[in-house]
Structure 1
């Protein structure tokens, strides 16, 4: 005799669909928990530094933090004539307090970036403060102390920095500024250098990428065509530079390329040249060394794509009467475009952020954006300009990646 469960018990318990959904949800949570450490790592070492970089490029705490009364006093000033007496009194009190708190260094350095001579003005004024007795007119007292306080240009600099955030560094990195009337204007010719530096960086990176492509493509084709034994030996030679420090490689190129180096010596011994060629501390040396460093990054993506292309495609095209060169161009080359584009993008992005090779092998006119980022970080301690240049370089990299993704997507649609 068999018994059956009442329908109410089946209805009360979870159904099969519900149990499957619960199991799938638990598995999904377990998978997310497994990748959580990686996600935290990416956030901490990638997103947080980028956010700090962008924050530093707009942060402007010096004037607001050191001159709070002055900032409040000139908030309603139109910026044309000199400010009223309360602004001069607030400035006197703020400078005296800033001297006590030892914040004049950062303040004067920040103001001197926009108007030369502000550092000496701040130092001279702060030494005379506080006044022994309260003057009848702070305006007259400060102007007697230094006539520059009667120049509206110095007050206009303060007025432009009454906010804790400023576009000054980003505009300066683009050779622009905010003028005395608060309008966007081009930077002075002596200070308009950064667009040329960016253009030089992109041009040098483009030339290096093109040379690497010309050298890497036939070498990658050779690696993909040779038998495994010879191909592995050549691949070891391609990867060998990765096992050597970049600094050691650059030092070796200095020895090879200098006027009395091995290359000039060999050329003179063969009678090819009479005088040593200038191959170091100029752009030629930078190109030679950086192509040597970047070449493996171009070879590997192209080789990985070529290795997956069947040789039967070429043989089929030739057997149908197509010339071998035309077969290569029409059949083989289009299949390698993914590797070519990936290699070019990788090399170009690495080049625009490169520092050590141009710094050691190039002249002052061959330095790239990364050199000035390092200069403002380590030498002048100007974090605002360093992060602004770095942020623009990051933006250029993201734009290149978006363009690359768009081109790859468009090519896939055409092939489909």
Structure 2
């Protein structure tokens, strides 16, 4: 056996020496995206960045965005931010980080099948929750209430603030200086009032236009991921039972299929097999229905996608089943008394922190002290929103427990 040869090294065989394999040139962005459909987002057609930068070498603009998100401080913090269950309740429950990875995996599968930009859809998926508060939606609701007189708080806008201003990695600008298309995808919802303040980025919320297919895919991949992993976590925690889920058509159909296919299975493996089948059905249906919509409306560019009705969608039958599952989770998991107890505690922590810092801003780290008093509440919200669950609990103890340092 011959030693492994390095790139460009001469190979030989029994017929004599062979020619050296040429070392391929560094691919251009156009080459890296040559497989994409005309309706996909292409790096060459990007509306650009707030701050001009030289084009990246050996990767596309959207790959650069993805890489910047993965290396950001806010992305690392997602490891200790709640999805449904607070971090200390168990090591196997989903966090914002694992949720974001699951969203990216689903979204990339769909994007590849539709020949749209996997790098962009991954960047949007990984960044969509960067602005989430500690303690999940309970923390967001509490912080929004605290900020009611100061413009409110919305995690999509906070995610945008993180990538536009709050990250501190680069010498030439604040934030991550992401492409317009990535920032557009992060902004899933926006009020008309806030849309007017955002200029070009908020225009579609005023005109009724659509974002890119990549943004539409990430949006629905988010729903597929959290609905199914919340079922999994709910069963793991004991707050949901298989008997309860039997009333949900999407669950029952795939649970019965899994039992017929694997009659020897029970417990966790049967649950995992069921969830796997549900996710596969949702993804395949999404791809097939979106292909039908693309054929019907025939967009030939990203601009045509923006003018078309929503193109990324489930079939009516599967959409109805997904809505039924979502309603089941709202009633039986998110409003379960044990979840509500933790929700109540989380809201008390967030409100307590906000009130303490508002009453005496000198309790804040110096970086969050505002020169202008009117700007102070927003800086406080930035500080609290950036906390992990355990950091928020520790900060609360520091402020309110007499024997804590």
Name the TM-score class by shorter chain: under 0.3
Structure number with greater CO (CA < 8 Å, separation at least 6) is 2
How does the TM-score come out when normalised to structure 2?
0.22
Rg comparison, structure with higher value: 1
How does the TM-score come out when normalised to structure 1?
0.22
Higher share in helix: 1
